[in-house]
Structure 1
Amino acid sequence: MSEIDFINSQQVKNAINKLANNIRTERSTVENLLNIYADKSIIDRLNNHNNQIIYGRRGTGKTHLLYAFQRLIFESNNPNASKRFPIYLDLRTYLPLFTSSSSINVESSVLIFQAIINDLIDILINNLKYIYDISEYGGFNSFENSRIEKLKNILGRLNVEFNGREFKRLGSVEFNKEEIKNISGSLKLNTSPEFTVDGKQEQKNNFIETNVQYLSFNEISKLLEDLSLELNDTKIVFLLDEWSEIPLDLQPYLSELIKRVFISSNYTFKVAAIPYRSKFRETIHNDLKIGLEEGGDIFPITLDNRYIYEIDKVGTKNFYNELLINHLKEIDNTLFNNVDEIRFINYFFANQALAEILIASAGIPRDFINLFILSYNNRNNVTQRIILKNIRNSTTEWYTSDKKEEIDKDKTTRHLFEELVNLVILTKKKTHFLLPQKHSDNKFIKKLVDLRVLHLRQKGISHRHIPNKTYDVYSIDYGSYTSLDINKTTLSTDFSELVSNLNTIEDIRETRSLSIEDDFFEKFNLETGQGIKCSKCSKTIDINHLAYIKQKICNNCFEKVED
């Protein structure tokens, strides 16, 4: 069978139609998500006893990575050695616990933390036979030793009853009010949060239930450590997903509770988070720092920018080839009986079309899979490979349905993106641009990166004739300009040329012509109400800059701004 006949066979069509079921991990029908994970070297980087943050934008595979790692832990456990036990928790399930109050306080974070503890206990109880290597149909007779008495004591204090046959939950763990008050006092926080109901301010009361045990944070830390030891010295690995769904200002307080109770114990945390929407540590009153310190308590790894075609053509192609093979093999392994797996992805694409979809995917696996399905199904001539026209039509369709709607929800974000497209794409005729690093902290730039319409390509490059100034390199999303019917062949897309030019161009004015400089943001901030004129230096103050928000300081001259 020829390659063209193969990609147009009914068997391949059926497999690609089923591929849509695996775009989102939480809805996937795949039993073993470790099998279909491409580039397992990133899983190896998780396979340690460090607390780690997995940073990545939407669609980079954070959830898939956690599930794959969970499977790896189960498969690698040795019956003759102490186990690791992974506990996956989707933090979105705790969203109803948040009050409508805008005040941030310890009690709000305690509610979430309390729910995590309760889920930990429930999951461990439901998996005791696995942890103790007892047959599914066996009883608890092997517990007839001193260890069961210790376990009963620990679980009893955590509000769990053992009647000789099974463990039964009596109620929710509650933390001692005085302990919460003490922590609140140490952080100078309000211990009685309020929220509004029908326009009236009401006091939020602690939930109280019969049989609920009241514990201090210090006590529960010791109990959980003892619990791990009595469970055959099991190492508990928390896999916390969707961290960034927790309100940003609340995140450092939850981090602080995790640190106080878990960090020095036999528990490990792997946390999936979105850059720019995560805050694990914060300085509060009198320079008191709370939360998890990156590089000290917890170590970051990133899924962004691993496979960028403009930077690494071969590595990017090989990654997406593996991604496609792994997913389709799981759907129908017989597809690969007579297939050259090394060049499998080439079966589907004309050469130029393959390069274009790898550029358009921008290092986002979810975007690649969606674009692949769309471009395959959008072919007018089903007797040929996917061609450039199919890629352009698919990127426009994907951008309009997945990204443009989100941009349009906020008029300020939309205005900034339109200005960037007009300047970079229409005026400069480029797809990449330089941005002074101080502007990378602009909250609307961060939002456009989060929405995957701007892509950060490289950080911290400099020009030998421009001292004390570093740049980041960004690209504008492929779909945003194909949706405007702009022909890519008229644009300069050479990333390497842009970066190398920064150190070879002698004319500083020419170098700055590649960059989006202060005047662009001054104009944007004044037009959109995001800036005010500084009376000291006459420059425009970015009112979203932390220096202005916290201390009313101009982010240009750093002088105090008078009201």
Structure 2
Amino acid sequence: MTDRRQRHVNQALMRIPRRAESTDRSTLATTYVAAGSFSAMLNSEDHQILYGRRGTGKTHALLYLSDVVERAGDVAVYVDLRTIGSAGGLYADSSLSPSTRGTHLLVDTLEAIHEELLTAAMEREFGDPDGLLRAMDTLVDASTAVEVVGEVEAETRLGEKEHSGAGVELSVSTAPRGRISAGQQRTVRAESRLRRTGVEQHRVLFGPLGRALRAVAKAMRPSRLWVLLDEWSSLPVDLQPLLADLLRRSVLPVPGITVKIAAIERRSRFFVPNGNDYLGIEVGSDAASAVSLDDFMIFDHTQNRAQEFFGQLFYNHAGPRLATMMREPPADADAFLGEAFRRGAFAELVRAAEGVPRDAINIAALAAQHANAEPIALADVRNAAKDWYLRDKRNALAVNEPARRTLQLLVDEIVGNRRSRTFVLDQLGYAAYETIDELYDARLLHLLRRGIVDPQHPGRLYDGFAIDYGCYVSLLLVGDQHTRVRDRGGWISSPKGVPPDGFSLSRVAVDLPTLLKGMA
């Protein structure tokens, strides 16, 4: 292959968009690749919560679903919860009560849904367009009611007024008449005044709101309304159950409406007990199911499936661009991968991505830069994974000293002492350590396997984790003698450089309380 053609291939990898929201809807629809049966589950009419860490493709999945349902004749309302109201101001203002902040959040969310519905009503034809507009007016009234909270003072005044004078009354008819009158008149006036002192507050009435939404759904028939709420975890955690409760009481019970919510599992709170009842959504009951992209993207022992997914992902993005740059572009994903990567390099890139599409795209772009006018080699992938870790992932811990210290202790133990990168933690034990969740959210720890059973203690379950590939590689490339392998020069190009992802409870179980006792 000529240098010019290879440069085009590498440039196509470097130009893949990193974020779904920066890409137009048509491109998102054509580049989407479903992992396993995820697409079929996503397209179901059940209410669902879609979990996944940053970069796993939640936004891409919702926008793809929006395109699918619109083409099927339904109506999709996509709401990015980061952009409604004043998420960074009013909602986070601790000087205001949770009820005040929560009510404003409900009103702002309903307003965003109403605006999207209004756009759909103007652009499309529905079975009952007049009924839809009336229902939307009712929806506005139900979601923007205002009451004044404070003291109310009533005042009534009575007054009299006298006046005297004379008058002349004339009338013209067949028999002319006239009357002169004189005397006094008394007028009694009553004045009533109602004075309120207080502040106006929004209130949301679940009953009228639910009836308005039923009227909206009825007027749209036979089209179905899909409400897609993205970036749920961007909302303050204490307000999330309030919005969830609004959905449970007024939206989820309405026939003809489906709700999908994208959230980060360990940064979301959908349910809180409230006496004998509860506030929010009970996952598995009110919302039919919760789907985890993290679980779907754990390919574990099925590496062929992982390579097929990421190969198609790269080709869907790079193929259309190459069609404008080459006379004979690669015909399919296999042909593209054959031109872009040397033997073993693509499999290593899939492993380095740890099941996160955004990391795979960034590592591929950096590897293409390292390769320049050559196909991407194993060494390019490992150097790119190191660069991505040092430039992006490690910086996420710059202001989080506890998480940074936890990672350091795990690396010292797992990589330094055990010469591995995988380990297991007791499920109940690590739940008490927030720093493990923070490292998982930052994609510095990766959950590879859930519910590992200890044969000696069947009642105890473990989860299998791995130190981030880029973190491990950076230690081997730039670390001290304690963490380097002996043949450092040969390792970078060796297929056996990174230890396999396996679990043995006798060798890799970590006693987290003992490891972290110095942090207390």
TM-score category (smaller protein): 0.7 to 0.9
- 2:14·2:364 contact (CA, 8 Å) conserved in 1? no
2:229 is aligned with 1:223 = no
Amino acid paired to 1:479: G
After alignment, is 84-93 or 33-42 more displaced?
33-42
CA shift, 1:315, in A, is 0.5
Amino acid paired to 1:34: A
Amino acid paired to 1:516: V
2:15 is aligned with 1:18 = yes
Q: How does 1:274-293 map to 2 (within 5 A)?
A: 274-284=264-274, 286-293=275-282
CA distance in structure 1 between the partners assigned to 2:336 and 2:265 by the alignment = 33
Q: Secondary structure at the match of 2:449?
A: strand
- 1:425·1:491 contact (CA, 8 Å) conserved in 2? no
Q: 1:493 aligns with which of 499, 502, 508?
A: 499
Q: How does 1:167-206 map to 2 (within 5 A)?
A: 173-175=143-145, 177=147, 205-206=199-200
- 1:453·1:477 contact (CA, 8 Å) conserved in 2? yes
Q: 1:356 aligns with which of 348, 351, 364?
A: 348
CA shift, 1:32, in A, is 3.2
Alignment match, 1:140: none
Q: Percent identity?
A: 27
CA RMSD of aligned residues (A): 2.8
Q: Secondary structure at the match of 2:267?
A: coil
After alignment, is 33-42 or 110-119 more displaced?
33-42
> Per the alignment, do residues 482 and 159 of structure 1 end up closer, same or farther by CA in structure 2, a change over 3 Å counting?
closer
Greater Cα radius of gyration, structure 1 or 2: 2
User: TM-score normalised to the size of structure 1?
Assistant: 0.73
Q: 2:444 aligns with which of 453, 463, 475?
A: 453
Superimposed CA distance per residue, residues 227-258 of structure 1 (whole angstroms, 9 cap, x where no aligned partner)? 22123454211111100001112211210111
Alignment match, 1:191: none
Alignment match, 1:154: 135
2:243 is aligned with 1:251 = no
Alignment match, 1:555: none
> Per the alignment, do residues 355 and 148 of structure 1 end up closer, same or farther by CA in structure 2, a change over 3 Å counting?
closer
- 2:103·2:204 contact (CA, 8 Å) conserved in 1? no
Superimposed CA distance per residue, residues 90-143 of structure 1 (whole angstroms, 9 cap, x where no aligned partner)? 00013144141177633322211211211222222222244316xxxxxxxxx9
Superimposed CA distance per residue, residues 27-62 of structure 1 (whole angstroms, 9 cap, x where no aligned partner)? 125633111001274232111221111111111010
Q: How does 1:43-54 map to 2 (within 5 A)?
A: 43-54=39-50
Q: 1:112 aligns with which of 93, 105, 123?
A: 105
CA shift, 1:5, in A, is 5.0
Alignment match, 2:402: 412
- 1:7·1:348 contact (CA, 8 Å) conserved in 2? no
Alignment match, 2:435: 444
CA distance in structure 2 between the partners assigned to 1:204 and 1:316 by the alignment = 61
Q: How does 1:54-203 map to 2 (within 5 A)?
A: 54-77=50-73, 84-94=74-84, 95=87, 96-101=89-94, 105-132=98-125, 150-151=131-132, 153-159=134-140, 173-175=143-145, 177=147
> Per the alignment, do residues 6 and 341 of structure 1 end up closer, same or farther by CA in structure 2, a change over 3 Å counting?
farther
Amino acid paired to 2:457: I
Structure 1: any 5+ residue segments left out of the alignment?
78-83, 134-142, 161-171, 180-202, 209-213, 503-510, 530-563
CA distance in structure 2 between the partners assigned to 1:114 and 1:345 by the alignment = 49
CA distance in structure 1 between the partners assigned to 2:10 and 2:345 by the alignment = 19
> Per the alignment, do residues 428 and 338 of structure 1 end up closer, same or farther by CA in structure 2, a change over 3 Å counting?
closer
How many residues are paired up?
449
Amino acid paired to 2:91: F
Structure 2: any 5+ residue segments left out of the alignment?
150-196, 478-483, 486-490
> Per the alignment, do residues 331 and 204 of structure 1 end up closer, same or farther by CA in structure 2, a change over 3 Å counting?
farther
Q: 1:425 aligns with which of 406, 415, 418?
A: 415
- 2:148·2:198 contact (CA, 8 Å) conserved in 1? no
Alignment match, 1:376: 368
> Per the alignment, do residues 123 and 521 of structure 1 end up closer, same or farther by CA in structure 2, a change over 3 Å counting?
same
Q: 2:29 aligns with which of 25, 34, 46?
A: 34
Amino acid paired to 2:121: L
Alignment match, 1:325: 315
Q: Secondary structure at the match of 2:225?
A: strand
Amino acid paired to 1:320: F
> Per the alignment, do residues 28 and 483 of structure 1 end up closer, same or farther by CA in structure 2, a change over 3 Å counting?
same
Superimposed CA distance per residue, residues 419-447 of structure 1 (whole angstroms, 9 cap, x where no aligned partner)? 00010011100111111112331211011
Q: Secondary structure at the match of 1:240?
A: strand
After alignment, is 219-228 or 91-100 more displaced?
91-100
CA shift, 1:344, in A, is 2.7
CA distance in structure 2 between the partners assigned to 1:307 and 1:93 by the alignment = 28
CA distance in structure 2 between the partners assigned to 1:132 and 1:177 by the alignment = 36
CA shift, 1:292, in A, is 0.8
- 1:175·1:217 contact (CA, 8 Å) conserved in 2? no
> Per the alignment, do residues 116 and 234 of structure 1 end up closer, same or farther by CA in structure 2, a change over 3 Å counting?
farther
Indicate the structure with greater strand content. Answer: 2
User: TM-score normalised to the size of structure 2?
Assistant: 0.79
- 2:14·2:369 contact (CA, 8 Å) conserved in 1? no
Amino acid paired to 1:445: I
* Greater relative contact order (CA < 8 Å, ≥ 6 in sequence): 2
